[in-house]
Structure 1
Amino acid sequence: MDFALTDDQKALADAAADFARVELSEHAAEWDATSHFPVDVIRRAGEAGFLGIYTPEAHGGLGLSRLEASLIFEQLSQGCISTTAYLTIHNMVTWMIANWGSDASRERFVGPMVAGELLGSYCLTEPGAGSDAANLRSKAVRDGDDYVIDGAKMFISGAGDTDVLVVMARTGAADSGAAGVSAFVVPADAEGVSYGKNEDKMGWKSQPTRLISFDGVRVPVENRLGEEGEGFKFAMKGLDGGRLNIASCSLGAAQHALTLARNYLGERKQFGQALSSFQALQFKLADMASELMAARLMVRHAAWRLDQGDPEATAHCAMAKRFATDVGFKVCNEALQLHGGYGYIREYPLERLVRDTRVHQILEGTNEIMRVIIARRLLVDGVVEALQ
């Protein structure tokens, strides 16, 4: 088993680190303080290739692996977690349209999305359907050559400032569960689409989060992804990669926090000596580094499984997401603690890292739901050896 990165993969990570340093790092605190959505920088991410990372080359993307996407997102998130998290969502939406959209949808949306000319949002969660997403209530009723969509989605990243929505809506009976869900591409400015207020969140402030209402929104049949009833399957396939993406953002956040903590311990003196000379703090730093490395290896292993089409990839993605997002938050919080009072003030970035990583344990499936997925494979399906 070879854990070494290739020269090309190292070059991708270096390019992402350069972009983070030049375009993200110096502005992240200001974007957080002013809740600014940096559309101009996001468009430049498109110019750098970071808006179609694993979208197939045939549709204008880079066609990279999930492992390579993880390397890129880990580096970008060291510049700004919140903005990078939006980039992961846009990549997922673009990939879904490229893979399951009609020729007309691909031609209309994918190229401009890869280039950053159009930005996307992913619309699954509803006021009454979060973890229980298969029971969503938004409806799409066939009317001739159109579908008419009614309902609401909430906690939608980028909503109100994006151009393209991938919307999950029920085309089957109310009790049809996952089998009755279909997916649609909806222009964000379509008649009948309206937006709620930008939520005042704990973190992720450089991207807007709004409720979206759909009132008699008409979209042509060609805007459906795949066939009727396949939408939930597409959503779950998107979330396998999405979970690795957000786990990778947690890795980047933790790496940034670890670096800040190491530097601070070497600079700060108490009782006449550097904090780095105290063994208790050395042990703390060592534990942070060890757990971060374990999380990184787990994410990369799950990404490799997903790239290989492994049938157990979903469980491995769930394990990686659960572990890496827990570790990411823990490392950021421990780094804040090591900074003492300085870690709690906004002049230092630690409190922002803690706020931004906390939501990673909730979105793309809560970490409790990740445990359900893993336990089901072990207990219900009887799979044990295959998860090795």
Structure 2
Amino acid sequence: MTFDLFRPTEEHDELRAAVRDVVEGKITPHAAEVDADSRYPQEAHDALLATDFFAPHVPEQYGGVGADALATAIVIEEVARGCASSSLIPAVNKLGSMPVQLGGGEEVKEKYLTQLAEGRGFSYGLSEREAGSDTASMTTRAVRDGDGWTLNGVKTWITNAGESDLYTVMAVTDPDGARGRNITAFVVEKGDEGFTFSEKERKLGIKGSPTRELIFDNVHLPADRIVGAEGEGLKIALRTLDHTRVTIAAQAVGIAQGALDYAMGYIKERKQFGKAIADFQGIQFMVADMGMKLEAARQLTYVAAAKSEREDADLGYFGAAAKAYASDAAMEITTDAVQLLGGAGYVADHPVERMMRDAKITQIYEGTNQVQRLVMGRKLLA
């Protein structure tokens, strides 16, 4: 693969500048308050919707702007640079709707991708308390009921639950069927009778993005809510993650960039022993390592985004690699940013402590980094 195949174009650079303006003007100023109050970043939601950055991946035929995978990654990266919680708005809208885009029939796509483009958020319901990495062991059930289905169960760790209007939910439809081939994907709407949410989880980071359980108590779903064929749900779910792990890598890159930017500004101003601490060689070595890891993460993420756009056969490997490397790098870079600020980095007066807390989840969700290494190892050995 040559560099030209994944280098951002002039249009990508213009997009980055446009998103950065929106973030600096309407999102970053609220980031500390959003974190402190654990509240949904409505200001970011409104600003992203007004500028077509809410769900940029939606194809033009469904009312979206049809941004390619790299453009979508750049949007998420730039929003995460200012507020990680806010970056989950476009990221989760892609995650929730990608099963529809990959596996849904034309009627399902027309109905729900159009609604997403109009501003109805889309979340993703795969995990359960006892079915995290082992998704095939899920217990949520959908049983045939006349022309439709009745859904019962609980989905856990659902990002933006309660704020999103639409949910792609995986459920077992054939309890006696072959493991992993007995799961079907459905779209559930927020207003469906019997569909409720738990209280919000109290979290270490991304506090502005609500995480709740989805609770299904005899929720009736019409037959046209199925995404793809019966029994193909887990296959669609795993294909989705191949694409959306790129967005988590982009989020991690953005968080790390925000932390490095802030730390560099601080060390240029902070003086000890009569000179800026940026003049000390030990500090310069730290910054050099941070910048090196960040740029390596960014380039790997952009390669994976290009493969996502083309749906290359090796996307699974590169999506896992980008997600694992970028999130590990973000955790290291944000931790070092706190260190560079010393005691100041440990208090909420400066954003790097928030960025460090936010970075941690990127190593966990959409598949832990241990699972990513399993994915990579198996693909290398295949």
- Whether the TM-score (by the shorter chain) exceeds 0.5 is yes
Paired residues for 1:50-199 under 5 Å? 50-116=53-119, 118-174=120-176, 176-199=178-201
SS in 1 for 2:220: strand
Q: Partners of 1:208 and 1:265 in 2: how far apart?
A: 34
Q: Deviations over 1:325-361 (max 9, x none)?
A: 0001110110000000000000100110001110110
Q: Partners of 1:86 and 1:10 in 2: how far apart?
A: 21
The amino acid across from 1:251 in the alignment is V
Q: Partners of 1:95 and 1:48 in 2: how far apart?
A: 21
Q: 1:268 aligns with which of 267, 270, 281?
A: 270
SS in 2 for 1:25: helix
> 1:244·1:317 contact (CA, 8 Å) conserved in 2?
yes
The amino acid across from 1:100 in the alignment is G
SS in 2 for 1:347: coil
Paired residues for 1:215-234 under 5 Å? 215-234=217-236
Q: 1:245 Cα shift?
A: 0.5
RMSD between aligned alpha carbons?
Answer: 1.5
Paired residues for 1:164-313 under 5 Å? 164-174=166-176, 176-313=178-315
Aligned to 1:385: none
**Could you say if the C-alpha distance between residues 109 and 43 of structure 1 is closer, same or farther in structure 2, counting changes exceeding 3 Å?**
farther
Q: 1:246 Cα shift?
A: 0.9
Aligned to 1:386: none
Q: Partners of 1:56 and 1:369 in 2: how far apart?
A: 31
The amino acid across from 1:64 in the alignment is A
Q: Partners of 2:176 and 2:80 in 1: how far apart?
A: 40
Q: Partners of 2:11 and 2:57 in 1: how far apart?
A: 15
Q: 1:237 Cα shift?
A: 1.8
Q: Partners of 1:98 and 1:296 in 2: how far apart?
A: 26
The amino acid across from 2:370 in the alignment is E
Q: Partners of 1:115 and 1:13 in 2: how far apart?
A: 22
Q: 1:103 Cα shift?
A: 4.3
**Could you say if the C-alpha distance between residues 101 and 369 of structure 1 is closer, same or farther in structure 2, counting changes exceeding 3 Å?**
same
Aligned to 1:332: 334
Q: Partners of 2:318 and 2:194 in 1: how far apart?
A: 40
Q: 1:105 Cα shift?
A: 3.4
> 1:171·1:180 contact (CA, 8 Å) conserved in 2?
yes
Q: 1:69 Cα shift?
A: 1.3
My pick for the range that moved more, 220-229 or 231-240, is 231-240
Q: Which residues of structure 2 form unaligned runs of 5+?
A: none
Q: 1:16 aligns with which of 1, 16, 19?
A: 19
**Could you say if the C-alpha distance between residues 157 and 151 of structure 1 is closer, same or farther in structure 2, counting changes exceeding 3 Å?**
same
> 1:165·1:187 contact (CA, 8 Å) conserved in 2?
yes
> 2:44·2:86 contact (CA, 8 Å) conserved in 1?
no
Q: Partners of 1:85 and 1:79 in 2: how far apart?
A: 12
Q: Partners of 2:52 and 2:176 in 1: how far apart?
A: 41
**Could you say if the C-alpha distance between residues 43 and 94 of structure 1 is closer, same or farther in structure 2, counting changes exceeding 3 Å?**
farther
Q: Which residues of structure 1 form unaligned runs of 5+?
A: 382-388
Aligned to 1:36: 39
> 1:295·1:327 contact (CA, 8 Å) conserved in 2?
yes
Q: 1:249 Cα shift?
A: 0.8
Q: TM-score, normalised by structure 1?
A: 0.94
**Could you say if the C-alpha distance between residues 79 and 179 of structure 1 is closer, same or farther in structure 2, counting changes exceeding 3 Å?**
same
Q: Partners of 2:43 and 2:275 in 1: how far apart?
A: 46
Aligned to 1:350: 352
The amino acid across from 1:227 in the alignment is A
